[in-house]
Amino acid sequence: MAVSDHVSLDEFMEGVKKRNPGQEEFIQAVREVSQDIFDFIEDKEEYHEAQILRRIVEPDRIVSFRVCWEDDNHNVRVQRGWRVQNNNAIGPYKGGIRFHPTVNESVLKFLAFEQTFKNSLTGLPMGGGKGGSNFNPRGKSDSEVMRFCQSFMTELCRHIGPDVDVPAGDIGVGSREIGYMFGQYKRITNRWEGVLTGKGQEYGGSKMRPEATGYGAVYFLCNMLRHRDEEIDGKTAIISGSGNVALHAAEKFRQLGGKVLTLSDSDGFIHDPDGIDEEKLEWIKDLKMNRRGRISEYANEFSSAEFHEGKRPWHVEADCALPCATQNELEEEGAKALVDNGVLAVAEGANMPSTLDAVEVFHDAKIMYGPGKAANAGGVAVSGLEMSQNSERISWQHERLHDMLTELMGDIHDKCVEYGEIDDGPDNYVDYVKGANVAGFKKVADAMLAFGVI
């Protein structure tokens, strides 16, 4: 007779900690998801008997490898690369590649775990994965980045494929890096196939992919506001980061009639009380994407703005907040400042930017809080559509993709409401974290049940 898996959340988490020593980010992500799943599966014996929760927190496999490359001074450099193939129950592994000095196995495991639920939420057939390296592209020449990317792909190409695992970009991996990696994959395998997404539009990239994560986060925010009879027009926003996600979120928020007050990078944030208008945003895009400059330069260019060195923007008063830089950038103290200043809604463009303590502050204050796995799923959704276009050898038009993105974000919002609405007050408060976790989990878990014990 099988023994079912009725342990307490704390006992379960003790086991996770023991099996993953020192992997703080991964443990944090597992705890955040598990507390909701525990409630959901409490009376569902089939999940307990099949030990679904224990199986879902164990990645299918992790590949770790040495990446050697030569810098411009002919020094041999050694980095570590990884691919975490977390779960392919509902489709090929799918998730970005991150190049940043903070990358380690714990960070990639947390990202691959979150990605599994996010991809499930999109409704598209994509499993969850994530990869990267502790390589820092900042300050490197184009040739150095090219040599690194080629070396990284020389090993990675053995583990990926259009029906196996389809990586994309993430922090530190934009169109330049994707181009170098795709070129190397093609050279080694002699196959042109949709093995990476976020490609240039000349060679199979999807229209709307660059904008999709940032725009999608703002559409998710729109849906949350609409649920409370509010809209973006006339509202202010604090945005962190100044990369792909942050800049496109700022662009869409502004286009919908809102005013963006802040952007940041790892040096600090700029606060422009006059708002970052279209012209200013174009200037920042050129600064960040072409000149690879620092956000502090904005305050030298535009006298209406101030640069706050080493600080984060959460103390600035605004109606909405969109953390779009990196994990754990919004801590309890920042969350309290946002709530004290009357923020209405927080929509996460980044992955897990809010700590567990910060999330608790949002829940206690009952503000609208859209976690990254729901709010930033537009990026991977359009990546999924890039895979479909590559398989069909066809390229869809901008308008069609834009409509699909808008619809997808609405569907994701509705799934969160379906599983997260708490019917205990006049406002029908929605616990979007719970809604996203349960909806994302259910599809993956049911697929795993169908496969038996594997």
Half-sphere exposure of 428 (CA within 13 A, CB side): 10
Q: Is 242 in the site for ligand NDP (CB under 6 A)?
A: yes
What's the closest the beta carbon of residue 291 comes to ligand NDP, in angstroms?
A: 12
Q: Is 370 in the site for ligand NDP (CB under 6 A)?
A: no
Q: Give the dihedral of Cα atoms 46, 412, 212, 250; nearest 10 deg.
A: -130
Task: Please say whether the beta carbons of 115 and 94 come within 8 A.
Answer: yes
Among 23, 79, 223, 351, binds ligand NDP (CB under 6 A): 351
Cα(411)–Cα(423) distance, rounded to whole angstroms? 20
Q: Is 352 left (phi over 0), alpha (psi -120 to 50) or beta?
A: left
What's the closest the beta carbon of residue 284 comes to ligand NDP, in angstroms?
A: 10
Which is closer to ligand NDP, CB of 245 or CB of 261?
Answer: 245
Which is closer to ligand NDP, CB of 359 or CB of 448?
Answer: 359
What's the closest the beta carbon of residue 402 comes to ligand NDP, in angstroms?
A: 16
Among 131, 243, 334, 370, binds ligand NDP (CB under 6 A): 243
Q: Is 440 in the site for ligand NDP (CB under 6 A)?
A: no
Q: Is 166 in the site for ligand NDP (CB under 6 A)?
A: no
Q: What are the b/e assignments for 392-425, b being 16+ CB within 10 Å?
A: eeeebeeeebbebbbebbeebbebbbebbbeeee
What's the closest the beta carbon of residue 437 comes to ligand NDP, in angstroms?
A: 17
The DSSP element (H or E) to which 341 belongs, if any, is: none
Instruction: Single out the segment in contact with ligand NDP by CB under 6 A; choices: 19-27, 149-157, 241-249, 438-446.
Output: 241-249
Burial label for 302, CB within 10 Å (0-12, 13-18, 19+), is middle
Q: Which residue is nearest to ligand NDP (CB)?
A: 243
Interface with ligand NDP in residues 276-295 (CB under 6 A): none
Instruction: Single out the segment in contact with ligand NDP by CB under 6 A; choices: 76-84, 142-150, 166-174, 273-281.
Output: 166-174
Q: Is 194 in the site for ligand NDP (CB under 6 A)?
A: no
Q: Is 349 in the site for ligand NDP (CB under 6 A)?
A: yes
Q: Is 241 in the site for ligand NDP (CB under 6 A)?
A: yes
Interface with ligand NDP in residues 298-317 (CB under 6 A): none
Beta pairing partners, 270: 263, 307
Cα(31)–Cα(29) distance, rounded to whole angstroms? 5
Active site residues: 130
Cα(209)–Cα(440) distance, rounded to whole angstroms? 22
Among 114, 170, 177, 251, binds ligand NDP (CB under 6 A): 170
Half-sphere exposure of 135 (CA within 13 A, CB side): 33
Among 95, 313, 371, 379, binds ligand NDP (CB under 6 A): 379
Task: With H, G, I as helix, E, B as strand and everything else as coil, classify residue 165.
Answer: strand
Size of the site for ligand NDP (CB under 6 A): 22
Q: Per-residue string for binding with ligand NDP, 84-123, x by CB under 6 A?
A: ----------------------------------------
Q: Is 386 in the site for ligand NDP (CB under 6 A)?
A: no
Among 89, 208, 245, 320, binds ligand NDP (CB under 6 A): 245
Task: Please say whether the beta carbons of 17 and 28 come within 8 A.
Answer: no
Q: Is 325 in the site for ligand NDP (CB under 6 A)?
A: yes
Among 34, 106, 120, 244, binds ligand NDP (CB under 6 A): 244
In single-letter form, the type of residue at position 370 comes to: G
Which is closer to ligand NDP, CB of 50 or CB of 108?
Answer: 108
Q: Is 350 in the site for ligand NDP (CB under 6 A)?
A: yes
Q: Is 213 in the site for ligand NDP (CB under 6 A)?
A: yes
What is the length of the chain?
454
What's the closest the beta carbon of residue 344 comes to ligand NDP, in angstroms?
A: 22
- First CA to last CA distance, the chain: 19
Cα(121)–Cα(375) distance, rounded to whole angstroms? 10
What's the closest the beta carbon of residue 235 comes to ligand NDP, in angstroms?
A: 22
Cα(195)–Cα(161) distance, rounded to whole angstroms? 5
Reported for 294-299, long-range contacts at CB under 8 A and 24+ positions apart, including other chains, are 294/265, 294/267, 295/242, 295/263, 295/264, 295/265, 295/267, 295/268, 295/269, 295/270, 296/267, 296/268, 296/270, 298/263, 298/270, 298/272, 299/270
Q: What are the residues whose beta carbons fall under 8 Å from the beta carbon of 207, sequence distance 6 or more?
A: 201, 395, 396, 397, 398, 401
Which is closer to ligand NDP, CB of 111 or CB of 338?
Answer: 111
Q: Is 133 in the site for ligand NDP (CB under 6 A)?
A: no
Site residues (vs ligand NDP, CB under 6 A): 169-172, 213, 241-246, 265-266, 324-326, 329, 349-351, 376, 379
